[in-house]
């Protein structure tokens, strides 16, 4: 099944585990730090939260276009925060159809899982950037500050959505 078919099948708020070696019998972490990523070709927003508490916070924005710099920055964040799991938002059209950035976000997530050997989950991120921008605007953030803050705020929206989906399913 293609990513587009999976997104359409799973619908809004879907959570997909990319860690193929985990079986349905393997316990997923219920406590520990989680990092979430809002992937973009120029910037990657990063958020942090804890599974036990279920509250996400914007962390930083990685501003690099080359993979070497991006993954070096991500490796430094992983070393600092020692997450038990990673979450990547997958953008899609309002009707659920995946677009090009969705394909790139899935590829980024696969690279994260392969490179860092951490459980990596995908989550539908429809409208998270819009919600993040709206929230920042309501807080009085404008101009250049809005542009630099929106990616980390969108990652926070992605992670909060993940926590809510996990709670609704009775765990992570």
- Domain residue ranges of the chain, discontinuous segments joined by +: 3-168
Are 89 and 37 contacting, i.e. CB atoms less than 8 angstroms apart? yes
Give the Å distances, CA to CA, from 9 to 2, 3, 19, 72.
10, 10, 19, 35
Q: Which residue has the higher pLDDT, 6 or 163?
A: 163
In the structure encoding, which two tokens stand for residue 136, read together? 């920042």
User: Closest Cα partner for 88 from 113, 71, 51, 58?
Assistant: 113
User: Closest Cα partner for 167 from 38, 86, 55?
Assistant: 55
What is the per-residue pLDDT across 61-84, written as a single tens digit (0 to 9) for each?
999 989 999 999 999 999 999 999
Are 105 and 90 contacting, i.e. CB atoms less than 8 angstroms apart? yes
H or E element that contains 56: strand 56-63
What is the per-residue pLDDT across 94-142, written as a single tens digit (0 to 9) for each?
887 878 899 999 999 999 999 999 999 999 886 666 666 666 566 665 6
CB-based contacts of 26, cutoff 8 Å, min separation 6? none
Q: Which residue has the tokens 């404008």?
A: 142
Report pTM. 0.79
Distance CA 74, CA 98 (A): 25
Domain 3-168 is in which class?
Answer: alpha beta
């Amino acid at each position: 099944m293609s990513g587009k078919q999976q997104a359409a099948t799973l619908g809004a708020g879907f959570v997909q585990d990319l860690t193929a070696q985990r079986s349905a019998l393997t316990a997923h972490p219920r406590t520990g730090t989680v990092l979430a990523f809002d992937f973009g070709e120029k910037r990657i927003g990063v958020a942090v939260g804890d599974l036990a508490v279920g509250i996400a916070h914007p962390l930083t924005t990685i501003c690099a276009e080359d993979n070497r710099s991006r993954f070096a920055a991500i490796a430094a964040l992983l070393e600092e925060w020692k997450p038990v799991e990673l979450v990547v938002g997958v953008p899609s059209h309002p009707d659920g159809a995946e677009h090009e950035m969705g394909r790139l976000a899935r590829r980024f997530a696969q690279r994260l899982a392969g490179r860092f050997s951490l459980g990596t989950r995908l989550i539908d991120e429809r409208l998270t950037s819009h919600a993040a921008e709206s929230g920042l605007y309501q807080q009085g953030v404008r101009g250049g500050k809005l542009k630099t803050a929106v990616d980390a705020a969108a990652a926070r929206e992605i992670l909060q959505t993940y926590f809510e989906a996990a709670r609704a399913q009775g765990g992570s």
